[in-house]
Amino acid sequence: MSMQALLTVDQLAEHLQKSVASIRSDATRNPQSLPPICRLPNTKRLLWRAEDVERWIGLHVAGADSPKAMELAPPEKRRRGRPTKAEAVAKRAQSDVKW
């Protein structure tokens, strides 16, 4: 098994063109906005495997039409709250149809 390169917060910040503070903040508050973190036992250091970072960047290229990129697209979210009047009328009309 070959040794894989691990990136530090400073190196990841340089790769992603973000500040170190932003990376540290995202790691706790918004971890899905970063590549998967490599957690070593008994440490609190934030480290990333170089291959994971490259793969993650590849999946987030704008206009990527690869099947993997399409597969990872977030599902369409449903709106919260009360339906609009038009939605309620359309639903009522649909349920009134007799077969």
- pLDDT, one tens digit per residue, over 31-69 is 989 999 998 899 889 999 999 999 999 888 876 555 554
Here the tokens at position 8 are: 């530090």
Domain range summary for the chain, segments of one domain joined by +: 1-66
Phi, psi for residue 25 in degrees, rounded to 5: -65, -45
pLDDT of residue 11: 94
1-66: what fold? Arc Repressor Mutant, subunit A (1.10.10)
Q: What is the mean pLDDT of the chain?
A: 83
- pLDDT, one tens digit per residue, over 8-41 is 999 999 999 999 999 999 999 989 899 999 988 9
Here the tokens at position 23 are: 């990376």
CA distance 33 to 29: 9
| pTM attached to this predicted model | 0.58
